Amino acid sequence: MRVLLRILIVAAVATALIAVELTSRSGVLWRLITFTYQANLLAAGYYLCTLISPRVDARAGVRGAVVLYVLVAGVLWNLLLTEYSMGYTPANILLHVVVPVLALLDWVWVGRDARGIRWWQPLVWLVYPAVYVALALFVLNHAGRRAPYYFLDPDSVGMFVVAANIGLLAVFVLGLGYGISAVGRARRTARSAPLN
Residue ranges of domains in the chain: 2-192
Q: Torsion over CA of 29, 31, 36 and 41, rounded to 10 degrees? A: 0
What is the number of alpha carbons within 13 Å of residue 106 lying toward its C-beta?
A: 28
Contact 65, 122 (CB under 8 A): no
Of 70-79, 80-89, 141-150, minimum mean pLDDT range:
141-150
Task: Tell me the C-alpha distance between 15 and 10, whole Å.
Answer: 9
Q: How far apart are CA 21 and CA 90, in angstroms?
A: 13
* pLDDT(56) > 90: no
Task: Report which of residues 4 and 135 the model is more confident about.
Answer: 4
> Maximum distance among all alpha carbons in the chain?
64
pLDDT at 68: 98
pTM value is 0.92
Give the confidence band of 153 by pLDDT, cuts at 50, 70, 90.
Answer: confident
What separation in angstroms does the CA of 48 have from each of 40, 136, 153?
A: 12, 28, 34
Contact 101, 108 (CB under 8 A): no
pLDDT at residue 146, as a whole number:
73
Report pLDDT digits (tens) over 103-149. 999 999 886 666 678 999 999 999 999 999 998 888 776 666 677 88
Non-local CB neighbours of 174 within 8 Å, separated by 6+ positions: 122, 123, 126
Percent of the chain, pLDDT > 90?
65
